[in-house]
């Protein structure tokens, strides 16, 4: 951990430099999600199979990221604990990301997708774990706000530049994304100094991913379990609404896809704009309190969504949702670190991604089933989202403020 006193000025320069790691990761996925479904559909795959392939990263992340996060805690090299995973995963992901549009058979494309997903899974958790390594607890919310801001900027650049480059050839946006990701990761590896690792525990005393999970479940203080379940619930809620929002706009409100894309970009923009302020608010008032305020706002907005009848009614919902979601999302990982402690930053980063990736698969699929069962009633997504966001709030009320978090209030 940083040995700097908590009263020092916040190191924005170092934080933006570290945030390039997340910037590089965030450049890849918009390009992937925009163009890969088109490539797969071009081979005659059904929408169901395309959807399955597009969620491979979530399935891989459920198993790979928790294990990698835990293993990175025990990695000891002259480069540090996290950087070897970045040096292994980023080049692998970049190479096969460029291969995706170059392949000429469905099997080859799917193989390239699988190895891209695997490479990304290898280095995402260690990259994000640097947040906990480099910053003391009282600075993590602000730092995570900067990181999420940079991630949002990366996604916006990917959308704008990727679309323009695609006109020059289908491989060009992928090459751009791969090169930018490698440059971003190189900046982190070269210029961010990992703090000295804590003293390593003997091999016989190390805790595996499953050991960490069992300890969270069986601990006398259930705060760790409750925060992970809350994360699962709020990501189930948000991912379900985000996935089906464009369908709600088109089939329920009669707004065409292009217009809905513009409207939903307002949510993403407000999230980016409020990423840093949400971290500053948590530093002032405490993470738990700010997260609960965000959850309350999202519950009210999703309940309001059930009554939305027009574009004019939908727009303020999207704008405010970006603000409230920033309050929740930016402070969730630092809250996990508060509960998990500094000795197992990587392990708890993995558990965080386990919960969020289960949610990324479950939320959209369950709402899809509900839409079919209700005869195409897309309003069901708002009720579903409100219910799981409310459950997240109930669980958060049972999470105890860690001393570090409380000290920020």
Band of the pLDDT at 6, cuts 50, 70, 90?
A: very low
**Looking at residue 233, what is its pLDDT?**
98
**Looking at residue 229, what is its pLDDT?**
96
Query: Is residue 329's pLDDT more than 90?
Result: yes
Percent with pLDDT over 90 in the chain: 51
Tens of pLDDT, residue by residue over 208-250, are: 667 777 877 787 778 889 999 999 999 999 999 988 888 899 8
DSSP 203: G
Separation of CA 147 from chain center: 11
C-alpha–C-alpha distance, residues 382 and 253, integer Å: 14
| Averaged pLDDT, 299-326 | 96
Contact 275, 330 (CB under 8 A): yes
246 against 48, higher pLDDT: 246
Query: Is residue 187's pLDDT more than 50?
Result: yes
Tokens 């929408």 identify what position? 47
What are the tokens at 303?
A: 């309940």
C-alpha–C-alpha distance, residues 240 and 102, integer Å: 32
Span of 159-173, 188-202, 310-324 with lowest mean pLDDT:
188-202
Name the 3-class secondary structure at 82. coil
* End-to-end Cα, the chain, rounded Å: 21
C-alpha–C-alpha distance, residues 402 and 406, integer Å: 6
Query: Is residue 409's pLDDT more than 50?
Result: no
Span of 12-26, 33-47, 98-112 with lowest mean pLDDT:
33-47
Identify the structural domains of the chain with CATH numbers, from first to last.
12-194 (1.20.1250.20), 210-408 (1.20.1250.20)
Contact 101, 174 (CB under 8 A): yes
C-alpha–C-alpha distance, residues 156 and 301, integer Å: 25
**Looking at residue 384, what is its pLDDT?**
97
Contact 194, 187 (CB under 8 A): no
**Looking at residue 11, what is its pLDDT?**
92
Span of 88-97, 98-107, 129-138, 206-215 with lowest mean pLDDT:
206-215
**Looking at residue 204, what is its pLDDT?**
57
DSSP class per residue in 276-344: HHHHHHHHHH-HHHHHHHHHHHHHHHHHHHTT--SHHHHHHHHHHHHHHHHHHHHHHHHHHHHHH-GGG
**Looking at residue 4, what is its pLDDT?**
40
Quote the mean pLDDT of the chain: 87
**Looking at residue 206, what is its pLDDT?**
63
């Amino acid at each position: 951990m940083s040995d700097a006193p908590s009263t020092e000025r916040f190191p924005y320069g170092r934080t933006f430099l570290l945030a390039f790691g997340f910037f590089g990761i965030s450049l890849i996925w918009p390009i992937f999600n925009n163009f890969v479904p088109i490539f797969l559909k071009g081979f005659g795959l059904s929408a169901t199979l395309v959807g399955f392939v597009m969620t491979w990263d979530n399935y891989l992340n459920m198993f790979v990221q928790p294990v990698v996060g835990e293993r990175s805690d025990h990695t000891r090299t002259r480069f540090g604990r996290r950087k070897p995973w970045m040096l292994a995963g980023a080049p692998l992901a970049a190479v096969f990301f460029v291969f995706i549009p170059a392949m000429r058979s469905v099997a080859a494309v799917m193989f390239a997708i699988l190895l891209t997903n695997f490479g990304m899974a290898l280095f995402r958790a260690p990259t994000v774990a640097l947040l906990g390594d480099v910053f003391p607890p009282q600075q993590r919310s602000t730092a995570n706000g900067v990181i999420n801001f940079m991630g949002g900027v990366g996604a916006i650049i990917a959308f704008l530049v990727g679309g323009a480059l695609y006109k020059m050839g289908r491989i060009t946006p992928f090459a751009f994304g791969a090169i930018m990701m490698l440059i971003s990761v190189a900046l982190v590896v070269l210029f961010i100094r990992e703090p000295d690792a804590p003293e390593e525990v003997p091999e016989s005393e190390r805790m595996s991913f499953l050991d960490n999970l069992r300890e969270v479940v069986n601990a006398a203080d259930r705060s760790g379990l409750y925060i992970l379940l809350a994360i699962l619930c709020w990501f189930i809620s948000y991912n379900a609404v985000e996935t089906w929002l464009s369908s709600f706009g088109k089939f329920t409100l009669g707004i065409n896809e292009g217009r809905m894309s513009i409207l939903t970009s307002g949510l993403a923009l407000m999230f980016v704009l409020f990423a840093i302020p949400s971290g500053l608010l948590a530093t002032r008032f405490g993470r738990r309190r700010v997260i609960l305020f965000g959850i309350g706002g999202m519950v009210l907005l999703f309940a309001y969504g059930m009554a939305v009848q027009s574009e004019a009614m939908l727009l303020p919902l999207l704008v405010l949702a970006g603000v409230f979601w920033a309050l929740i999302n930016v402070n969730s990982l630092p809250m996990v670190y508060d509960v998990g402690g500094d000795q197992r930053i990587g392990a708890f980063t993995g558990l965080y991604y386990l919960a969020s990736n289960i949610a990324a698969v479950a939320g959209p699929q369950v709402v899809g089933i509900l839409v079919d069962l209700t005869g195409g009633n897309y309003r069901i997504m708002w009720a579903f989202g409100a219910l799981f966001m409310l459950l997240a709030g109930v669980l958060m009320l049972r999470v105890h403020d860690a001393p570090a978090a409380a000290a920020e209030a």
